[in-house]
Structure 1
Amino acid sequence: MLTFRSLGFVLLWFTALGYGALFAPPDDPNTLDLITRLSLGQWDGLNPLIIALFNLMGVWPLLYCGLLFGDGQQQKIPAWPFALGAFAVGAFSVLPYLALRKPCPRFQGQPNRVVRAFESRWLAAVALGAAVVFLAYGLFAGDWGDFVQQWQSSRFIHVMSLDFCALSLLFPTLLGDDLARRGVKNPLALWTVAAIPVLGPAVYWLVRPALPRS
Protein backbone atom coordinates (compact mmCIF):
# COMPACT_ATOMS: atom_id res chain seq x y z
CA MET A 1 0.00 0.00 0.00
CA LEU A 2 1.40 3.38 -1.01
CA THR A 3 1.96 5.93 1.75
CA PHE A 4 1.53 9.69 1.40
CA ARG A 5 5.31 9.91 1.07
CA SER A 6 5.28 7.38 -1.78
CA LEU A 7 2.39 9.15 -3.48
CA GLY A 8 4.36 12.37 -3.25
CA PHE A 9 7.25 10.79 -5.17
CA VAL A 10 4.83 9.39 -7.76
CA LEU A 11 3.27 12.83 -8.23
CA LEU A 12 6.71 14.41 -8.51
CA TRP A 13 7.71 11.83 -11.13
CA PHE A 14 4.65 12.52 -13.27
CA THR A 15 5.13 16.27 -12.84
CA ALA A 16 8.74 16.01 -14.02
CA LEU A 17 7.74 13.90 -17.02
CA GLY A 18 4.95 16.30 -17.92
CA TYR A 19 7.14 19.36 -17.60
CA GLY A 20 9.90 17.83 -19.72
CA ALA A 21 7.44 16.85 -22.43
CA LEU A 22 5.19 19.90 -22.48
CA PHE A 23 6.93 22.94 -21.05
CA ALA A 24 10.67 22.52 -21.63
CA PRO A 25 12.15 24.30 -24.68
CA PRO A 26 11.88 22.47 -28.02
CA ASP A 27 14.48 19.95 -29.15
CA ASP A 28 17.60 21.45 -30.69
CA PRO A 29 18.47 19.77 -34.03
CA ASN A 30 22.13 19.73 -32.90
CA THR A 31 21.41 17.84 -29.67
CA LEU A 32 22.51 14.41 -30.93
CA ASP A 33 25.78 15.85 -32.22
CA LEU A 34 26.31 17.62 -28.88
CA ILE A 35 25.72 14.44 -26.88
CA THR A 36 28.10 12.52 -29.15
CA ARG A 37 30.84 15.10 -28.73
CA LEU A 38 30.36 15.25 -24.97
CA SER A 39 30.42 11.45 -24.68
CA LEU A 40 33.55 11.05 -26.81
CA GLY A 41 35.48 13.88 -25.16
CA GLN A 42 35.45 16.04 -28.29
CA TRP A 43 35.09 19.22 -26.26
CA ASP A 44 36.77 21.84 -28.46
CA GLY A 45 34.50 24.85 -28.83
CA LEU A 46 32.00 23.69 -26.19
CA ASN A 47 31.07 25.77 -23.18
CA PRO A 48 32.94 24.37 -20.12
CA LEU A 49 29.75 24.74 -18.11
CA ILE A 50 27.98 22.30 -20.43
CA ILE A 51 30.93 19.91 -20.29
CA ALA A 52 31.03 20.07 -16.49
CA LEU A 53 27.27 19.59 -16.13
CA PHE A 54 27.24 16.59 -18.47
CA ASN A 55 30.06 14.89 -16.58
CA LEU A 56 28.61 15.70 -13.16
CA MET A 57 25.45 13.95 -14.30
CA GLY A 58 27.66 10.86 -14.47
CA VAL A 59 29.05 11.49 -10.98
CA TRP A 60 25.62 11.88 -9.39
CA PRO A 61 24.42 8.32 -10.14
CA LEU A 62 27.69 6.99 -8.73
CA LEU A 63 27.00 8.88 -5.50
CA TYR A 64 23.47 7.47 -5.39
CA CYS A 65 24.83 3.96 -5.85
CA GLY A 66 26.73 4.45 -2.60
CA LEU A 67 23.34 4.60 -0.86
CA LEU A 68 20.99 2.67 -3.13
CA PHE A 69 22.70 -0.72 -3.02
CA GLY A 70 22.98 -0.79 0.77
CA ASP A 71 19.36 0.30 1.04
CA GLY A 72 18.20 -2.09 -1.66
CA GLN A 73 19.61 -5.17 0.05
CA GLN A 74 17.02 -4.60 2.78
CA GLN A 75 14.09 -3.99 0.39
CA LYS A 76 11.70 -6.32 -1.42
CA ILE A 77 12.52 -4.56 -4.70
CA PRO A 78 16.05 -4.70 -6.16
CA ALA A 79 17.87 -1.38 -6.35
CA TRP A 80 20.16 -2.17 -9.27
CA PRO A 81 17.71 -1.44 -12.16
CA PHE A 82 17.03 2.01 -10.72
CA ALA A 83 20.70 2.65 -9.95
CA LEU A 84 21.77 1.73 -13.48
CA GLY A 85 18.88 3.69 -14.95
CA ALA A 86 20.08 6.80 -13.13
CA PHE A 87 23.19 6.86 -15.35
CA ALA A 88 20.89 7.34 -18.34
CA VAL A 89 17.93 9.35 -17.05
CA GLY A 90 18.98 10.60 -13.61
CA ALA A 91 16.16 11.47 -11.22
CA PHE A 92 13.58 9.97 -13.58
CA SER A 93 14.96 6.58 -12.51
CA VAL A 94 15.56 7.40 -8.84
CA LEU A 95 12.02 8.67 -8.17
CA PRO A 96 10.24 5.33 -8.84
CA TYR A 97 12.61 3.60 -6.42
CA LEU A 98 11.89 6.21 -3.75
CA ALA A 99 8.17 5.66 -4.28
CA LEU A 100 8.43 1.86 -3.96
CA ARG A 101 10.97 1.49 -1.13
CA LYS A 102 10.09 1.19 2.55
CA PRO A 103 11.84 2.96 5.44
CA CYS A 104 14.78 0.82 6.50
CA PRO A 105 16.89 2.22 9.36
CA ARG A 106 18.58 -1.13 10.18
CA PHE A 107 20.94 -3.30 8.20
CA GLN A 108 20.57 -7.03 8.77
CA GLY A 109 22.80 -9.79 7.50
CA GLN A 110 26.07 -9.51 5.61
CA PRO A 111 26.63 -6.91 2.88
CA ASN A 112 26.67 -8.59 -0.53
CA ARG A 113 29.48 -8.09 -3.04
CA VAL A 114 27.94 -5.05 -4.69
CA VAL A 115 27.30 -3.34 -1.35
CA ARG A 116 30.88 -4.07 -0.26
CA ALA A 117 32.18 -2.61 -3.52
CA PHE A 118 30.31 0.64 -2.87
CA GLU A 119 31.62 0.77 0.68
CA SER A 120 35.04 1.44 -0.86
CA ARG A 121 36.73 4.66 0.27
CA TRP A 122 38.81 4.56 -2.91
CA LEU A 123 35.70 4.72 -5.05
CA ALA A 124 34.36 7.55 -2.91
CA ALA A 125 37.66 9.41 -3.34
CA VAL A 126 37.45 9.03 -7.12
CA ALA A 127 33.89 10.43 -7.10
CA LEU A 128 34.97 13.35 -4.91
CA GLY A 129 37.95 14.10 -7.13
CA ALA A 130 35.80 14.07 -10.27
CA ALA A 131 33.23 16.34 -8.61
CA VAL A 132 35.89 18.86 -7.57
CA VAL A 133 37.55 18.91 -11.00
CA PHE A 134 34.38 19.36 -13.04
CA LEU A 135 32.79 21.85 -10.65
CA ALA A 136 35.92 24.01 -10.68
CA TYR A 137 36.24 23.72 -14.47
CA GLY A 138 32.63 24.70 -15.07
CA LEU A 139 32.42 27.51 -12.53
CA PHE A 140 35.72 29.21 -13.36
CA ALA A 141 36.05 28.60 -17.09
CA GLY A 142 32.37 28.51 -18.12
CA ASP A 143 30.47 31.12 -20.09
CA TRP A 144 27.33 31.86 -18.04
CA GLY A 145 25.69 34.03 -20.68
CA ASP A 146 25.96 31.27 -23.26
CA PHE A 147 24.72 28.71 -20.73
CA VAL A 148 21.59 30.75 -19.96
CA GLN A 149 20.89 31.11 -23.67
CA GLN A 150 21.23 27.35 -24.21
CA TRP A 151 19.13 26.64 -21.12
CA GLN A 152 16.34 28.71 -22.64
CA SER A 153 16.56 27.20 -26.11
CA SER A 154 17.64 23.56 -25.74
CA ARG A 155 15.45 20.85 -24.18
CA PHE A 156 18.54 18.71 -23.49
CA ILE A 157 20.39 21.43 -21.55
CA HIS A 158 17.20 22.59 -19.82
CA VAL A 159 16.12 19.16 -18.59
CA MET A 160 19.67 18.11 -17.68
CA SER A 161 20.03 21.21 -15.50
CA LEU A 162 16.76 20.54 -13.72
CA ASP A 163 17.74 16.88 -13.32
CA PHE A 164 20.93 18.02 -11.57
CA CYS A 165 18.84 20.11 -9.16
CA ALA A 166 16.39 17.24 -8.58
CA LEU A 167 19.19 14.81 -7.71
CA SER A 168 20.59 17.38 -5.27
CA LEU A 169 17.22 17.76 -3.53
CA LEU A 170 16.38 14.03 -3.47
CA PHE A 171 19.65 12.80 -1.97
CA PRO A 172 18.62 13.58 1.66
CA THR A 173 15.56 11.32 1.30
CA LEU A 174 17.91 8.32 1.47
CA LEU A 175 20.39 9.86 3.87
CA GLY A 176 18.43 9.46 7.11
CA ASP A 177 18.14 5.70 6.83
CA ASP A 178 21.76 5.37 5.73
CA LEU A 179 22.90 7.26 8.82
CA ALA A 180 20.68 5.14 11.06
CA ARG A 181 21.96 1.89 9.56
CA ARG A 182 25.50 3.01 10.38
CA GLY A 183 24.70 3.85 13.98
CA VAL A 184 25.35 7.59 13.71
CA LYS A 185 23.82 9.15 16.83
CA ASN A 186 24.56 12.83 16.18
CA PRO A 187 24.23 13.24 12.41
CA LEU A 188 23.93 17.06 12.22
CA ALA A 189 27.45 17.56 10.86
CA LEU A 190 27.01 14.87 8.21
CA TRP A 191 23.57 16.23 7.25
CA THR A 192 25.14 19.68 6.82
CA VAL A 193 27.93 18.31 4.64
CA ALA A 194 25.58 16.19 2.53
CA ALA A 195 23.36 19.22 1.83
CA ILE A 196 26.07 20.73 -0.40
CA PRO A 197 25.26 19.65 -4.00
CA VAL A 198 27.58 16.94 -5.39
CA LEU A 199 30.54 17.75 -3.14
CA GLY A 200 28.63 17.09 0.08
CA PRO A 201 27.38 13.61 -0.86
CA ALA A 202 30.87 12.71 -2.11
CA VAL A 203 32.45 13.81 1.19
CA TYR A 204 29.75 11.97 3.12
CA TRP A 205 30.45 8.78 1.17
CA LEU A 206 34.16 9.13 1.97
CA VAL A 207 33.87 9.75 5.73
CA ARG A 208 30.71 7.84 6.79
CA PRO A 209 31.13 4.90 9.20
CA ALA A 210 31.09 1.38 7.78
CA LEU A 211 27.93 -0.73 7.81
CA PRO A 212 27.63 -3.08 10.80
CA ARG A 213 28.10 -6.76 9.98
CA SER A 214 26.00 -9.26 11.86
Structure 2
Amino acid sequence: MVRQISFMLLWVGFSFYAFLLAPANQPDTFELIQRLSTGDWAGINPLVVALFNLMGVWPLVYACVVLIDGQGQKLPAWPFVVGSFGVGAFLLLPYLALRQPQPTFTGEKSVLLKLVDARWLGVGLAIAAFGLLVYGWSRGDWSDFVQQWQTSRFIHVMSLDYCLLWLLFPALLGDDMTRRGIGDRRWIWLLMLIPVLGAAIYLVIRPPLPSKTAQPEAATV
Protein backbone atom coordinates (compact mmCIF):
# COMPACT_ATOMS: atom_id res chain seq x y z
CA MET A 1 0.00 0.00 0.00
CA VAL A 2 2.84 2.40 0.83
CA ARG A 3 4.39 1.66 -2.57
CA GLN A 4 1.14 2.37 -4.37
CA ILE A 5 0.52 5.60 -2.48
CA SER A 6 4.08 6.74 -3.20
CA PHE A 7 3.65 6.25 -6.95
CA MET A 8 0.30 8.04 -6.91
CA LEU A 9 1.71 10.99 -4.97
CA LEU A 10 4.64 11.15 -7.39
CA TRP A 11 2.20 11.21 -10.30
CA VAL A 12 0.15 14.01 -8.73
CA GLY A 13 3.26 16.01 -7.88
CA PHE A 14 4.80 15.60 -11.33
CA SER A 15 1.54 16.58 -13.03
CA PHE A 16 1.12 19.62 -10.78
CA TYR A 17 4.67 20.77 -11.47
CA ALA A 18 4.52 20.15 -15.22
CA PHE A 19 1.32 22.10 -15.79
CA LEU A 20 1.54 24.82 -13.16
CA LEU A 21 5.16 25.42 -12.16
CA ALA A 22 7.29 24.56 -15.20
CA PRO A 23 8.42 27.40 -17.52
CA ALA A 24 5.84 28.68 -19.98
CA ASN A 25 5.57 27.30 -23.49
CA GLN A 26 7.38 29.24 -26.19
CA PRO A 27 5.50 30.56 -29.25
CA ASP A 28 7.38 28.19 -31.56
CA THR A 29 6.70 25.03 -29.49
CA PHE A 30 4.17 23.55 -31.92
CA GLU A 31 6.46 24.22 -34.88
CA LEU A 32 9.38 22.61 -33.02
CA ILE A 33 7.35 19.48 -32.25
CA GLN A 34 6.21 19.30 -35.86
CA ARG A 35 9.77 19.56 -37.18
CA LEU A 36 11.07 16.99 -34.70
CA SER A 37 8.28 14.59 -35.66
CA THR A 38 8.87 14.92 -39.41
CA GLY A 39 12.68 14.73 -39.34
CA ASP A 40 13.22 18.38 -40.28
CA TRP A 41 16.11 18.77 -37.80
CA ALA A 42 18.20 21.43 -39.52
CA GLY A 43 19.14 24.13 -37.03
CA ILE A 44 17.78 22.21 -34.01
CA ASN A 45 20.17 21.41 -31.18
CA PRO A 46 21.16 17.71 -31.57
CA LEU A 47 20.58 17.26 -27.83
CA VAL A 48 16.93 18.17 -28.33
CA VAL A 49 16.70 15.87 -31.36
CA ALA A 50 18.26 12.99 -29.41
CA LEU A 51 16.06 13.57 -26.36
CA PHE A 52 12.87 13.70 -28.44
CA ASN A 53 13.70 10.44 -30.21
CA LEU A 54 14.80 8.72 -27.00
CA MET A 55 11.36 9.54 -25.64
CA GLY A 56 10.12 7.23 -28.38
CA VAL A 57 12.57 4.49 -27.43
CA TRP A 58 11.62 4.54 -23.74
CA PRO A 59 7.93 3.52 -24.25
CA LEU A 60 9.04 0.60 -26.42
CA VAL A 61 11.45 -0.54 -23.70
CA TYR A 62 8.67 -0.31 -21.12
CA ALA A 63 6.27 -2.15 -23.42
CA CYS A 64 8.64 -5.13 -23.45
CA VAL A 65 8.19 -5.44 -19.68
CA VAL A 66 4.79 -3.91 -18.90
CA LEU A 67 2.77 -5.95 -21.41
CA ILE A 68 4.17 -9.17 -19.92
CA ASP A 69 3.72 -7.88 -16.38
CA GLY A 70 0.12 -6.96 -17.17
CA GLN A 71 -0.71 -10.54 -18.13
CA GLY A 72 -1.53 -11.35 -14.50
CA GLN A 73 -2.94 -7.99 -13.45
CA LYS A 74 -6.60 -7.13 -12.91
CA LEU A 75 -6.24 -4.03 -15.07
CA PRO A 76 -5.20 -4.19 -18.75
CA ALA A 77 -1.69 -2.90 -19.35
CA TRP A 78 -2.01 -1.96 -23.01
CA PRO A 79 -3.85 1.40 -22.53
CA PHE A 80 -1.01 2.62 -20.30
CA VAL A 81 1.60 1.44 -22.79
CA VAL A 82 -0.15 3.08 -25.74
CA GLY A 83 -0.63 6.32 -23.81
CA SER A 84 3.02 6.38 -22.75
CA PHE A 85 4.05 6.97 -26.38
CA GLY A 86 2.40 10.37 -26.11
CA VAL A 87 2.82 11.37 -22.49
CA GLY A 88 5.51 9.08 -21.06
CA ALA A 89 5.54 8.75 -17.29
CA PHE A 90 2.22 10.59 -16.97
CA LEU A 91 0.49 7.29 -17.83
CA LEU A 92 3.09 4.79 -16.63
CA LEU A 93 3.00 6.16 -13.08
CA PRO A 94 -0.71 5.32 -12.62
CA TYR A 95 0.02 1.77 -13.85
CA LEU A 96 2.81 1.41 -11.28
CA ALA A 97 0.46 2.69 -8.60
CA LEU A 98 -2.37 0.29 -9.52
CA ARG A 99 -0.45 -2.89 -10.36
CA GLN A 100 0.20 -5.72 -7.92
CA PRO A 101 3.50 -7.63 -7.61
CA GLN A 102 3.53 -10.30 -10.32
CA PRO A 103 6.66 -12.50 -10.12
CA THR A 104 5.17 -15.38 -12.15
CA PHE A 105 3.79 -15.81 -15.65
CA THR A 106 1.06 -18.29 -16.49
CA GLY A 107 -0.65 -19.15 -19.74
CA GLU A 108 0.45 -19.03 -23.35
CA LYS A 109 2.33 -16.17 -24.95
CA SER A 110 0.22 -14.34 -27.51
CA VAL A 111 1.71 -13.03 -30.75
CA LEU A 112 2.12 -9.61 -29.11
CA LEU A 113 3.87 -11.06 -26.05
CA LYS A 114 6.17 -13.11 -28.28
CA LEU A 115 7.05 -9.88 -30.08
CA VAL A 116 7.91 -7.88 -26.93
CA ASP A 117 9.80 -10.89 -25.55
CA ALA A 118 11.91 -11.25 -28.70
CA ARG A 119 15.63 -10.64 -28.30
CA TRP A 120 15.94 -9.01 -31.72
CA LEU A 121 13.62 -6.21 -30.59
CA GLY A 122 15.89 -5.54 -27.62
CA VAL A 123 18.89 -5.46 -29.97
CA GLY A 124 17.17 -2.90 -32.17
CA LEU A 125 16.26 -0.71 -29.20
CA ALA A 126 19.79 -0.94 -27.80
CA ILE A 127 21.30 0.12 -31.13
CA ALA A 128 18.85 3.01 -31.43
CA ALA A 129 19.49 4.16 -27.85
CA PHE A 130 23.26 3.97 -28.28
CA GLY A 131 23.21 5.88 -31.56
CA LEU A 132 20.98 8.64 -30.18
CA LEU A 133 23.02 9.01 -26.98
CA VAL A 134 26.27 9.28 -28.95
CA TYR A 135 24.70 11.74 -31.41
CA GLY A 136 23.35 13.98 -28.66
CA TRP A 137 26.44 13.95 -26.45
CA SER A 138 28.96 14.38 -29.26
CA ARG A 139 27.21 17.03 -31.34
CA GLY A 140 24.90 18.77 -28.88
CA ASP A 141 25.26 22.32 -27.57
CA TRP A 142 24.90 22.04 -23.80
CA SER A 143 24.76 25.77 -23.05
CA ASP A 144 21.92 26.19 -25.55
CA PHE A 145 20.13 23.15 -24.09
CA VAL A 146 20.35 24.54 -20.55
CA GLN A 147 18.95 27.85 -21.77
CA GLN A 148 16.04 26.06 -23.47
CA TRP A 149 15.48 23.92 -20.38
CA GLN A 150 15.11 27.06 -18.31
CA THR A 151 12.70 28.82 -20.67
CA SER A 152 10.69 26.19 -22.58
CA ARG A 153 8.04 24.02 -20.89
CA PHE A 154 8.27 21.46 -23.69
CA ILE A 155 12.02 20.92 -23.27
CA HIS A 156 11.82 21.23 -19.48
CA VAL A 157 9.05 18.67 -18.95
CA MET A 158 10.37 16.29 -21.60
CA SER A 159 13.75 16.24 -19.85
CA LEU A 160 12.13 15.51 -16.48
CA ASP A 161 9.96 12.83 -18.05
CA TYR A 162 13.07 11.19 -19.51
CA CYS A 163 14.77 11.15 -16.10
CA LEU A 164 11.64 9.85 -14.39
CA LEU A 165 11.32 6.96 -16.86
CA TRP A 166 14.95 6.10 -16.13
CA LEU A 167 14.40 6.10 -12.36
CA LEU A 168 11.11 4.18 -12.49
CA PHE A 169 12.22 1.24 -14.65
CA PRO A 170 13.75 -0.73 -11.73
CA ALA A 171 10.28 -0.81 -10.13
CA LEU A 172 9.31 -3.39 -12.78
CA LEU A 173 12.68 -5.06 -13.11
CA GLY A 174 12.60 -7.30 -10.02
CA ASP A 175 9.42 -9.14 -11.00
CA ASP A 176 10.59 -9.53 -14.60
CA MET A 177 13.86 -11.12 -13.48
CA THR A 178 12.01 -13.46 -11.10
CA ARG A 179 9.67 -14.56 -13.88
CA ARG A 180 12.73 -15.55 -15.90
CA GLY A 181 14.58 -17.27 -13.06
CA ILE A 182 17.52 -14.86 -13.09
CA GLY A 183 19.64 -15.51 -10.01
CA ASP A 184 22.70 -13.26 -10.00
CA ARG A 185 21.25 -9.79 -10.47
CA ARG A 186 24.00 -7.49 -9.21
CA TRP A 187 25.48 -6.53 -12.55
CA ILE A 188 22.01 -6.16 -14.08
CA TRP A 189 21.19 -3.53 -11.47
CA LEU A 190 24.43 -1.79 -12.46
CA LEU A 191 23.17 -1.63 -16.04
CA MET A 192 20.31 0.53 -14.83
CA LEU A 193 22.81 3.32 -14.11
CA ILE A 194 22.97 3.87 -17.89
CA PRO A 195 19.79 5.70 -18.95
CA VAL A 196 17.75 3.95 -21.68
CA LEU A 197 20.69 1.94 -22.99
CA GLY A 198 21.04 -0.11 -19.80
CA ALA A 199 17.36 -1.07 -19.87
CA ALA A 200 17.60 -1.95 -23.59
CA ILE A 201 20.66 -4.13 -22.96
CA TYR A 202 18.69 -5.96 -20.29
CA LEU A 203 16.10 -6.81 -22.94
CA VAL A 204 18.89 -8.33 -25.02
CA ILE A 205 20.47 -10.49 -22.32
CA ARG A 206 17.39 -11.62 -20.37
CA PRO A 207 16.39 -15.28 -20.89
CA PRO A 208 13.25 -15.85 -22.98
CA LEU A 209 10.04 -16.22 -21.02
CA PRO A 210 8.58 -19.75 -21.24
CA SER A 211 5.02 -20.06 -22.49
CA LYS A 212 4.03 -21.51 -19.15
CA THR A 213 5.82 -21.20 -15.84
CA ALA A 214 5.21 -22.23 -12.29
CA GLN A 215 7.73 -20.92 -9.81
CA PRO A 216 10.91 -20.22 -11.83
CA GLU A 217 14.12 -21.87 -10.74
CA ALA A 218 17.13 -19.66 -10.05
CA ALA A 219 19.43 -19.32 -13.02
CA THR A 220 22.28 -17.13 -14.06
CA VAL A 221 22.63 -15.01 -17.16
TM-score normalised by length of structure 1? 0.97
Aligned equivalents of 2:159, 2:210: Cα separation in 1: 37
Aligned equivalents of 1:130, 1:57: Cα separation in 2: 11
Partner of 1:48: 46
Partner of 2:16: 18
Partner of 1:196: 194
Residue 185 of structure 1, CA deviation: 1.4
Is 1:4–2:12 an aligned residue pair?
no
State the secondary structure of the residue aligned to 1:159. Answer: helix
Aligned equivalents of 2:34, 2:131: Cα separation in 1: 21
Residue pair 2:103, 2:179 contacting (<8 A) in 1 also: yes
Kindly provide the amino acid, as one letter, of the partner of residue 148 in structure 1: V
Residue 124 of structure 1, CA deviation: 1.0
Aligned equivalents of 1:192, 1:36: Cα separation in 2: 36
Residue 195 of structure 1, CA deviation: 3.2
Partner of 2:215: none
Kindly provide the amino acid, as one letter, of the partner of residue 96 in structure 1: P
Partner of 1:67: 65
Aligned equivalents of 1:141, 1:117: Cα separation in 2: 34
State the secondary structure of the residue aligned to 1:35. Answer: helix
| Structure 1 residue ranges, 4+ long, deviating more than 4 angstroms after superposition | none
How many residue pairs are counted as aligned between the two chains? 212
RMSD of aligned Cα (Å): 0.8
Partner of 2:150: 152
Residues 173-195 of structure 1, C-alpha deviation per residue, up to 9 Å, x if partnerless? 00000000001112112121133
Aligned equivalents of 1:112, 1:79: Cα separation in 2: 14
Residue range with higher mean Cα deviation, 186-195 or 155-164: 186-195
Partner of 1:118: 116
TM-score normalised by length of structure 2? 0.94
Is 1:94–2:92 an aligned residue pair?
yes
Aligned equivalents of 2:62, 2:141: Cα separation in 1: 29
Aligned equivalents of 1:146, 1:71: Cα separation in 2: 40
Kindly provide the amino acid, as one letter, of the partner of residue 186 in structure 2: L
Aligned equivalents of 2:111, 2:185: Cα separation in 1: 27
Residue range with higher mean Cα deviation, 118-127 or 85-94: 118-127
In structure 2, runs of 5+ residues without a counterpart are 213-221
Matches within 5 A, 1:175-190: 175-190=173-188
Residue range with higher mean Cα deviation, 112-121 or 161-170: 112-121
Is 1:84–2:117 an aligned residue pair?
no
Residue pair 2:118, 2:208 contacting (<8 A) in 1 also: no
Residue 211 of structure 1, CA deviation: 0.9
Aligned equivalents of 1:112, 1:72: Cα separation in 2: 13
Is 1:36–2:40 an aligned residue pair?
no
